[in-house]
Structure 1
Amino acid sequence: MGSLFEELEAREATARTRVEELEAVLAEVSGRLKAAREGLERLRIARETVAEVLAEMTPEKPGAAVDTDRSSPVDSAASAYAGAERRVIGVLTVPNWQPGMGAEVLPRVYRDIVEVVADAPGPIRAKQIVPRIGLPAETGKIEGTRAKLKRLVDRGWLDEDTPGMFAPARRRGGVSPNFR
């Protein structure tokens, strides 16, 4: 009978080892689950905070909003996003151009691009803009800048009459955007 008890002890030892391995895996997965839940909670809080901020914004006129508590100018991009918390899931970093809206509502890199295009003597290519905004003239940087230029064209900030050639947007009635 000794061999039966030895066999049972060996199986018990194997089962104990397997239980310990699974407990270690469970502890690791539990840690990852906790971290994922914390990340989810941070995103939920961020979304709610952005929705609250956007809900409080009231556009006075495009490009200029006023904080009624302090009677001072607030982020001029506010009017471009007012009421957006119920219509969009993401954030529109490059708003559609509207009369009276200046380049100051654009993120810094887009503002730099618009200013370089405005200062150019004529239509300009992406590869000519890249070094002027402080980036190395590498293919990836040129393509990234080209994508930004296309976005600026789509949103009414620039024109692209000839493929790959970008110029300041022409406005009806001779009105052009305020680049500075």
Structure 2
Amino acid sequence: MVVEEGWWMGSLFEELEAREAAARVRVEELEAAIAELSGKLALARDGLERLRVTRETVAEVLAEITPEAATAVVAGTSPEGESVASAYAGAERQVVGVLTVPNWQPGMTSDVLPSLYRDILEVVADAPGPIRAKQIVPRIGLPAETGKIEGTRSKLKRPVERGWLDEEAPGLFTPARRRAAASPNSP
């Protein structure tokens, strides 16, 4: 009987050693995967930082452009009125950030904005008073879903930051006051 118990204990230790070896291999595999993902994360962070710096640089450059030049850039003409061929023609929806909603300057009209922002400004201008994103969404042809309302609320912040709209109280949007008296045809 003693011989059988010793045999059993020997195979138990062999099984534990085999499991430990398998666990060690799995740990090494996971560590290698983590090292690979860490490298990919570092590359992605570098790309993100380059994009952030580029966006800030473009914002600075656009802030220095005169209203006429900014309007011409959006319209695809030179400041002298000559047509300019663009490698980005037809890609207006892919333009991000500052290029989509430029800072409002005297003489600028909503024609420089993408159609969605023009629609939003029109709805805000037509409202009898301050208006909320959930009231704007159905009027611009979107379903009154939480995601669409939140997306529109986010979009409303850009024209506020850039002088096209005012936010009287959190979530209540009106046409920018300083422009209302200056030009009745402005959005």
- Match of residue 121 from structure 2: 114
Matched, 1:20 2:25: yes
**Number of residue equivalences:** 160
1:61 Cα shift?
1.7
CA 1:47–1:27 in structure 2 vs 1: closer, same or farther (change >3 Å)? same
Counterparts of residues 84-163 of structure 1 (less than 5 Å): 97-104=104-111, 106=113, 108-118=115-125, 120=126, 122-123=128-129, 125-126=131-132, 127-138=134-145, 141-142=148-149, 145=152, 148-149=155-156, 152=159, 156-159=163-166
- Match of residue 72 from structure 1: 78
Which amino acid letter does the alignment assign opposite residue 168 of structure 1? P
Asked whether the equivalents of residues 130 and 141 of structure 1 are also in contact (C-alpha less than 8 Å), the reply is yes
Unaligned runs of 5+ in 2: 1-5, 85-96
What is the root-mean-square deviation of aligned Cα atoms in Å?
4.5
- Match of residue 67 from structure 2: 62
Asked whether the equivalents of residues 63 and 103 of structure 2 are also in contact (C-alpha less than 8 Å), the reply is no
Which amino acid letter does the alignment assign opposite residue 125 of structure 1? I
CA 1:116–1:46 in structure 2 vs 1: closer, same or farther (change >3 Å)? same
User: TM-score under structure 1 normalisation?
Assistant: 0.57
Matched-pair identity in %: 49
Give the match's secondary structure for 2:25: helix
Q: Which has the higher helix share?
A: 2
Which amino acid letter does the alignment assign opposite residue 132 of structure 1? R
1:146 Cα shift?
5.1
User: TM-score under structure 2 normalisation?
Assistant: 0.55
Which amino acid letter does the alignment assign opposite residue 29 of structure 1? I
Distance of 1:164 and 1:32 partners within structure 2:
40
- Match of residue 39 from structure 1: 44
Unaligned runs of 5+ in 1: 75-90
Asked whether the equivalents of residues 103 and 178 of structure 1 are also in contact (C-alpha less than 8 Å), the reply is no
Asked whether the equivalents of residues 123 and 165 of structure 1 are also in contact (C-alpha less than 8 Å), the reply is no
Higher-Rg member (1/2): 2
Which amino acid letter does the alignment assign opposite residue 105 of structure 2? Q
Structure 1 consecutive aligned stretches of length 4 or more whose deviation exceeds 6 Å: 2-8, 160-165
